[in-house]
Amino acid sequence: MTAAPGSEDNPYPVRSVAARVQAWIDKLGIVWIEGQLTEINVRGATTYMVLRDPAADMSLRVNCRSDLVHAAPVRLAEGVQVVVCAKPQFEARRGSFSLRLSAIRAVGLGELLARIEMLRKVLAAEGLFDPRLKRPLPFLPNIVGLITGRAGAAEHDVTSVASARWPAVRFAIRNTAVQGTSAVAEIVEALRALDADPEVDVIVIARGGGSVEDLLPFSDETLCRAIAACRTPVVSAVGHEPDHPLCDLVADVRAATPTDAAKKVVPDAVAELAHVSELRRRGGRALRNWVGRELNGLTQLRNRPVLADPMRLITDRAADIHRGREAARRDIKRMVAAESDRIGHLSARLTTLGPAATLARGYAVVQRIDGSVAVLRSAADALAGTRLRIRVSDGAVGAVSTGREDGAP
């Protein structure tokens, strides 16, 4: 029994596999592709180029007639964004895949701006521009990560201005391409490396001004998402004041220029020293004012009568008590005198009305003594021979009744 073609026992020869792949690719037809051109190499009637994806590390080899390159609407150079019409082809003899171009169109500025605006709306809808996600910059970073072009003015501006403001500042500089086909990949790689460094407290992405095409890498979706994913605060200092790439909106802080970024990431030592001096002066003045107020308060307390003469309150109360005692004594004496006078009057009245006074006027009290002493009230009670006792004012005398006398009242 014959084994199936392509099996272990009946393998295909290389020519058969190459022919089959070529036949399958030839059926794909044409396709429109967008990318950036690199490695443009003109060889006579044929031009060989590489079409690169600016947002990913992927590329395809393309070729076309040289007159098609010369007739392109713009001068084709490395980094130019184009849209091409290509047909996939497979060269069986070498086993290589490429695209054969039949048309080349440059991506216009208006279309680029429209795509950037569309990406801006998508990122805004996802919340990447939300102010609540912005992280504050540290007051004094340990190390400042700087991503910028090689030997560019942006690096000099950031480092010189930051060093002038704070001489002890330290930088971790990563030089990358800031335009062209490799810019996005290099910036993203440097950004991730600095974000992974625990000593880097803030990252600055700096580039000088340029055209919209030159600043396209800083509006790339891959770079914007990499900035949003950073745990370290990111400062975007791309271009000049009128330039607004999308990375400005994703970054935690936007700086108008690289010089402005240097001012934002480190404090001004002269200004901080002046501020410290001002705070010390204000603190000293506030302390002196507080001490003065407290001394005035103590002086007022010491000048109060209760503290100036602590015994005055007792003395004043003692005088009141003395006056009260004297008034009480006078009142008591007055009351005693009045009562003594009243008692004297009553005693005089009693003396006047009493029996002793009557006896003193010549009257006498006659008592009958017959076993009991009784006052003689009637002459009939004093029969003859009745023993009597007559009491006068200065004593008493005994007598015997002789009986009733005639003519007596």
Does 76 or 334 have the greater pLDDT score? 334
User: CA–CA separation, 363 vs 348, rounded Å?
Assistant: 19
Tell me: the pLDDT tens digits for 76-124? 777 777 888 888 888 888 888 888 888 887 766 556 666 778 888 888 8
The answer to whether 249 touches 241, Cβ cutoff 8 Å, is no
Structure confidence at residue 406 (pLDDT): 67
Position with higher pLDDT, 207 vs 81: 207
**Each residue of 202-240: b (16+ CB within 10 Å) or e?**
bbbbbbbebeeebbbbbbbbbbbebbbebebbbbbbbbe
- Residue 2: its pLDDT value, please? 65
Residue 290: predicted pLDDT? 94
Query: Rg of the chain over CA atoms, in angstroms?
Result: 65
Q: How far is 69 from 103, CA to CA, in rounded Å?
A: 9
What average pLDDT does range 281-293 have in this prediction? Answer: 94
| pLDDT reported for residue 201 | 93
Please indicate whether residue 141 or residue 17 has the higher confidence score (pLDDT).
141
* 3-class secondary-structure state, position 266: coil
Res. 37 pLDDT band, cuts 50 70 90: confident
| Closest listed residue to residue 228, CA positions, set 194, 255, 253, 252 | 252
Neighbours of 158 (CB within 10 A): 31
Mean pLDDT (whole number) for 195-213: 86
User: Is 321 in a helix, a strand, or coil?
Assistant: helix
Cα 215 from Cα 245, distance rounded (Å): 7
Determine the Cα–Cα distance for residues 46 and 67; give it in Å rounded to an integer: 8
Are 69 and 101 within 8 A, CB to CB? no
Each residue's pLDDT tens digit, 66-75: 888 888 777 7
pLDDT at 277: 92
CATH match of 14-107 with 2.40.50.140:
yes
- For the residues 159-188, what does the mean pLDDT come to? 88
Q: Give the per-residue pLDDT at 199.
A: 93
Q: What pLDDT band is residue 291 in, cutting at 50, 70 and 90?
A: very high
Q: What is the pLDDT of residue 353?
A: 76
The arithmetic mean of pLDDT across residues 380-409, rounded, is 78
Do 14-107 and 126-266 have matching folds? no
Strand, helix or coil for residue 400: strand
Please state, in angstroms and rounded to a whole number, the distance separating the CA atoms of residues 254 and 238: 9
The position carrying tokens 């950037």 is 116
Quote the pLDDT of residue 109.
57
Phi then psi for residue 386, to 5 deg, are: -75, 130
Is the predicted pLDDT of residue 362 greater than 70, yes or no?
Answer: yes
Structure confidence at residue 316 (pLDDT): 77
User: What is d(CA 164, CA 142) in angstroms, rounded to the nearest whole number?
Assistant: 16
How many Cα atoms occupy the beta-carbon half-sphere of 340 within 13 Å?
A: 6
Rounded CA gap, 139 and 135, in Å?
12
Specify whether the CB–CB gap between 169 and 266 falls below 8 A. yes
pLDDT at position 284, please?
A: 93
Residue 408 has pLDDT above 60, yes or no: no
Within 10 A of 188 (CB to CB), how many other CB atoms are there? Answer: 21
The percent of residues above 90 in pLDDT, for the chain, comes to: 25
Q: Calculate helix-pair angle for 183-196, 221-229, nearest 10 degrees.
A: 0
Using a cut of 0.85, tell me whether the model's pTM lies above it.
no
Contacts (Cβ under 8 Å, ≥6 apart) of 309: none
Average pLDDT, the chain: 84
Q: Name the E strands within 208-317.
A: 234-238, 253-254
Does an H or E element contain 392, and which?
Answer: strand 387-392
3-state secondary structure at position 303: helix
More confident of the two residues 381 and 140: 140
pLDDT for 8 beyond 70? yes
Task: Please state, for a pLDDT cut of 70, what percent of the chain lies above it.
Answer: 93
What integer is the mean pLDDT of 213-218? 78
Report the DSSP pairing between strands 143-148 and 171-175. Answer: parallel
146 has a pLDDT exceeding 80: yes
**In the chain, domain spans:** 14-107, 126-266, 268-315, 359-400
Termini Cα distance of the chain: 201
Confidence grade of residue 327 (pLDDT, cut at 50, 70, 90): very high
So what's the pLDDT on residue 241? Answer: 62
Diameter of the chain measured on Cα atoms = 207
Q: If we measure between CA atoms, which residue out of 293, 220, 263, 199 comes closest to residue 56?
A: 220
- Indicate the range of 94-98, 157-161, 290-294 predicted with least confidence: 94-98
Distances (CA, A) of 19 to 2, 91, 101, 118: 23, 9, 22, 43
CATH 3.40.50.300, applies to 126-266: no
